[in-house]
Amino acid sequence: MQRYPRNLTGYGATPPNAAWPGGAKIAISLVLNYEEGGENCLLHGDAASEGFLSDIPGAAPWPGQRHWNMESIYDYGARAGFWRLHRLFTARGLPVTIYGVATALARNPEQLAAMKAADWEIASHGLKWVEHRDMSEDHERTAIQDAIRLHTETVGTPPRGWYTGRCSVNTVRLAAETGQFDWISDTYDDDLPHWMEFGDRDQLILPYTLEANDMRFATAPGWVTGADFETYLKDAFDVLYAEGEAGAPKMLSIGLHCRLIGRPGKIAGLMRFLDHVQSHPGVWFARRMDIAQHWATAHPHQRGTRPSQMDRASFIDRFGGVYEHSPWVAERAYGLELGPAHDTATGLANALARAFRAASMDERLTVLRAHPDLAGKLAAAKRLTHASTQEQASAGLDALTDDERSTFQNLNTAYVQKHGFPFIIAVRDNTKASILAAFKARIDNDTTTEFSTACQQVERIAELRLNALLASSC
């Protein structure tokens, strides 16, 4: 058994209507990362200076040394950048979510007091602004708990949201397992919130952004002027706003850093962007906690059948009859690299079809021969499978006139004599008349063509059966 954990499907072609409050066409989340005083620094017990997200070109950590220039750039974010942003957002009455590094918050009590006075949400950005990728699970678990403890001591209330940023492959799971967080944002995988399951925990995920983010002032390819950032944000907003007007509202996260966007030459672009956005009706500026609360109420998680998570016996019991009297198809599909993408009817149909297509011609022929004749003797004797009974009834094949029944029986006999297997068609896609017309047209095909056509129809029948099976279990 192989299982692929990444979810490449998401909401697919039909995302849910976010139904933002007041019928808003878009939700905008302004996120201010507060990391100043929590970065790598010998003063903080680290082995090297910080090398990430500053205006120093090509910056790299200095092992065993303090980097005075790097420290002073971070200091600017706390001393000047934060207050410039605070004035901007409070003057406009805009709600903000702080991603607060716990040690940074502890070293910046005046800025923390201003955040609280403005009623900004203060979420946890980890214990320190450091990499988690090389931490052992135990180390990272302890770091998360220490972040919660220090955040609670410093802020006065425990954090309800979490974003690490420099995370490991285990971070989201470990944060979810605490049961502490209403939302976690260490993903970049969607324009809408979504749920993830970790054991018994249903965890709401609010995807974040690394592109609508001022960090690109400090990375390549990136922004050079405030106008670069402004243009990108406007384009992102305009596309999402238009989608919202068309009935598919989305969420736009905007990532900010005090030491970057807080510089006067950069913040001008953000100001012009806000002017643009605030000239539009139907824009919901919200803290991430408000978005999370709305989503949990409007779109609560519902657990359903997850084929990729079933044990072998349950999988075969549930899906072994999808290919008529041929459980071996499901058994072989179970051994494929299944994952969240196969937890839908379309995805699971593809996995079963792969197993069927990979089988020998003789094996596929046994599947064709396992199918009953249309309106044949088994139907008359009520010996069809439940699925076949419903399918034939859906096209009215259980209520034929004597002449119609005679026609079908004659065609059945002639078809089997010529091709060696029953005539197969996805009856749910057809009417009695179209089935009869296809029967008369296909009977004269060569057997190679009919074998291929019959196999395709078997796959379509399986897809329709899976649609019904999974719809009834969700």
Phi, psi of 27 (to 5 degrees): -110, 130
> Cβ(97)–Cβ(254) under 8 Å?
no
Q: Which candidate, 308, 295, 316, places its Cα nearest to that of 343?
A: 308
> Cβ(457)–Cβ(424) under 8 Å?
yes
Phi, psi of 121 (to 5 degrees): -75, 135
Is 419 marked active-site? no
Helix (H, G, I), strand (E, B) or coil at 32: strand
Q: Provide the 10 A C-beta neighbour count for residue 100.
A: 32
Tracing tokens 């003797």 back to the chain, one arrives at: 377
Helix (H, G, I), strand (E, B) or coil at 257: strand
Structure tokens at 331: 């058994």
List 132, 257, 294, 371, catalytic entry: 371
CA distance 369 to 356: 14
CA distance 289 to 98: 11
Q: Per DSSP, which regions of 101-236 are E strands?
A: 121-124, 161-162, 183-184, 194-198, 201-205
Tracing tokens 């989201």 back to the chain, one arrives at: 172
* Through-space distance between the first and last CA atoms of the chain, rounded to whole angstroms: 24
378 Cα distance to chain centroid: 45
Helix (H, G, I), strand (E, B) or coil at 283: strand
In this structure, what is the dihedral angle of CA atoms 305, 307, 311, 312, given to the nearest 10 degrees?
A: 140
Q: Which candidate, 82, 106, 69, places its Cα nearest to that of 32?
A: 82
H or E element, residue 468 = helix 447-471
Active site residues: 371
